[in-house]
Structure 1
Amino acid sequence: MATTKLFLLLFIAMPIIIHSVNTDCDLKVGFYAASCPQAEVITSKIINEVIAIAPSLSGPLLRMFFHDCFVRGCDASILVDSPIKQAEKDAAPNQSLRGFQIIEKVKTALEQACPGVVSCADILALVARDVVAQVGGPSWEVETGRRDGMISILNEALTSLPPPSSNINSLKATFQQKGLSPKDLVVLSAGHTIGISHCSSFINRLYNFTGNENTSDPTLDSEYMERLKLKCQQNTPNNNVFVEMDPGSFRTFDEHYYELVSKRRGLFQSDAALLDDPQTKAYVDNHRYGNREDFFRDFGLSMVKMGRTQVLTGNLGQIRAVCSTVNLL
């Protein structure tokens, strides 16, 4: 009952928290150099051990950072548990996320080394970098200094996260609201090169695309569509059926995603939409046959840029003792 009352009080405090968001980016590389010098080493060690055993967690852990930053900014609000199941993680778009226990494992280790110092928001940023590097992708210097938010609301995830059915105009508008460019959009979309999705996220492209039965998305390659239909059958429960987002290399971070998109084999409508804008299409075309070094550099830069979204720094927010629970005020 006390926990429920606390959660409801945090809802009441929401307007104050929203208007207190720091608009300046006070993040920097090496923020914990003096206060917790082993922070990044400890985090990387745990993630390397985890991904070596469970590489399938790389995709969900990467997307966890995306889903956090696009709702209320990069403040670890995605991690908060709600006793009434009304937090961001309870929203339908976040039901496919996995690996929350890994974030808590990192947090526990950092609390032992440096109590009350490293934020859960920074842990998400560091983990996103480390899982990408561990499955063959780039590494980059992560800016740190974020603090944790105290609000997490299910409905905000429903309205702030771009759905997989988004068209190019909707995607560009959503990214622009976060200070991200069309180039950031096409670069960060390549996060779909690792991980899986469930049929429910794209099944409308196969059977009921126009709202009428037996209509399919004409932008989807017909051969690929037939393969998807074998896994995702019409009028059959598909909740536990998964599909590789990047068939053949879904556990390896590479530029193969762009080859798939160029061949009209992007799994989601949001992937196919990248061909509907001159700038995003040009990037897809330029990377469909390789250019890994260029893509890896761009991905790191866009991740850093996204990681600055509506951050809480200085005296704003808090440093949670446990990532799933807001500290008592």
Structure 2
Amino acid sequence: MKASYSGIDIRLMILTMSSFPPVFFLVLVFIPCILSAPEANLTADYYEETCPDFSKIVREAVSAKEGPPARIAAGILRLFFHDCFLEGCDASVLISKNPLHESERDNEINHSLTEDAFEIVTTIKTALEKSCPGVVSCADILAQSTHDVVTMVGGPTYEVKLGRKDGRESKAHKVGANLPLPHHTTNNMVSLFERKGFTLKEMVALSGGHTIGIAHCKDFISRINGTEPDPDLDAQYAEVLKGVCKDYTVDDTKASFLDPVTPGKFDNMYYKNMEKGMGLLASDFILFKDNSTKPFVELYANNETAFFEDFARAMEKLGMVGVKGDEDGEVRLRCDNPNNADA
């Protein structure tokens, strides 16, 4: 495959980020769970009376965060995925470890979640506790802030229903085997998505979140090692990636944008790149290579409106995964700690 971008152009669009913050490419987490708990009654206007400034406070905090908007957006979006696909959308990923056990964020796989994302949620929670103490859950903060950062970098708007309650526990050992990995096959990916109730089309649409963010060399080094790079990679692109990961060691934080063409914008370039042999992760490119998912990649590459519409609907569905109500959740006073600290 031959990309239509020059080697110089690609070099300008890929960064060697030896001092970059941890990777925020969107690895989604999947285990079986009920899409929505029956006792959780979510509505778009849930805080209209109890916390009328909720949306404003979230939006202002997201907008005020210093740093590249796409970096911030990728970090929060990935945090939301990791939360919802493990224990449901209950903000369990935000909980810190306690003397009894490590939490989800302590699992090695989650070390790539960015501190910026955690800090934004904490800032929002602090502001909301001053405005309407004890009312807004951390899970709702994460859901709303994810919507806001996606739209901030040009992505589609979608309805965010509110009223989630926060989980009371977070265990590191639950993370490991439930993440789709960069080397996963289509069957691996499909199995994980189906267990969460998502269709093939929704899987491909949600994967489009990789239009923002980065991946570290360790996640694609196997595709460029040796004298013969992965033949699915465009030759010029592979050479540039070799330069990015030159003298790579396992502790390196060198990285490349998942979308090297328009890394600062939420658009459909992720799919166009795959058609040109510029799908960075093997687990991304297989969506174009496999006959079961290729038609959706081609649809979204040719029709950004269709991608935006399907991504929006899939995000609405994602936000309902494993939602907790009053019986099995709470409104945490601190996002990093259950109200019962021994949980």
TM-score band, normalised by the shorter chain? 0.7 to 0.9
Alignment-derived partner of residue 276 in structure 2: 263
The corresponding residue for 2:6 is none
**Higher RCO (C-alpha 8 Å, min separation 6):** 2
Q: 1:92 aligns with which of 102, 108, 114?
A: 108
Return the match for 1:114 from 112, 132, 143: 132
SS of the residue aligned with 1:143? coil
Q: Percent identical across equivalent pairs?
A: 39
**SS of structure 2 residue aligned to 1:197:** strand
CA distance in structure 2 between the aligned counterparts of 1:204 and 1:23, rounded to whole angstroms: 44
**Higher alpha-carbon deviation: 109-118 or 218-227:** 218-227
The Cα shift of 1:233 comes to: 2.5
Q: 1:125 deviation in Å?
A: 0.7
Partner of residue 172, structure 2 = 154
- Residue 71 of structure 1: SS of its match in structure 2? helix
- Matching residue within 237, 241, 259 for 1:224: 237
Specify every segment of 5 or more residues in structure 2 that has no aligned partner in the other structure, as ranges: 1-32
Structure 1 residue 41: Cα displacement = 1.5
**Do 1:76 and 1:149's aligned partners in 2 also have CA atoms closer than 8 Å?**
yes
The 5 A counterparts of 1:261-300 are 261-289=274-302, 291-300=303-312
Which of the pair is proportionally richer in helix? 1
- Matched letter for residue 235 of structure 2: S
| Aligned amino acid, residue 311 of structure 2 | F
User: Within 2, Cα distance between the matches of 1:318 and 1:149?
Assistant: 7
Aligned to 1:89, the other structure's residue is in SS state: helix
Match of 1:210 in 2: none
Distance 1:25 1:315 in 2: 9
CA contact (8 A) 1:107 1:120 kept: yes
Is the Cα contact below 8 Å between 1:22 and 1:316 reproduced in 2? no
| Residue 307 (structure 1) aligned with residue 325 (structure 2) | no
Q: Is the 8 A contact 1:69 1:309 kept in 2?
A: yes
Match of 2:211 in 1: 193
Q: Which runs of 5+ in 1 are unaligned?
A: 1-17, 208-212
Select between 116-125 and 79-88 the one with higher mean Cα deviation.
79-88
Q: Equivalents in 2 of 1:218, 1:156: separation in Å?
A: 36
| 1:23 CA displacement | 5.0
- Residues 66, 316 of structure 1: alpha-carbon distance in 2 compared, 3 angstrom cutoff: same
Is the contact made by 1:232 and 1:238 (CA closer than 8 Å) also made in structure 2? no
Match of 1:125 in 2: 143
Distance in structure 2 (CA, Å) of the matches to 1:24 and 1:220: 48
Q: Calculate the aligned-residue CA RMSD, in Å.
A: 2.2
Deviation string for 1:240-271 (max 9, x for gaps)? 21211111311211111110112221111110
Q: Is the 8 A contact 1:195 1:244 kept in 2?
A: yes
Q: Report the AA paired with residue 280 of structure 1.
A: T
Structure 1 segments of 4+ aligned residues over 3 angstroms from their partners: 51-55, 213-216, 234-238, 276-279
Partner Cα separation in structure 2 for residue 53 and residue 266 of structure 1: 23
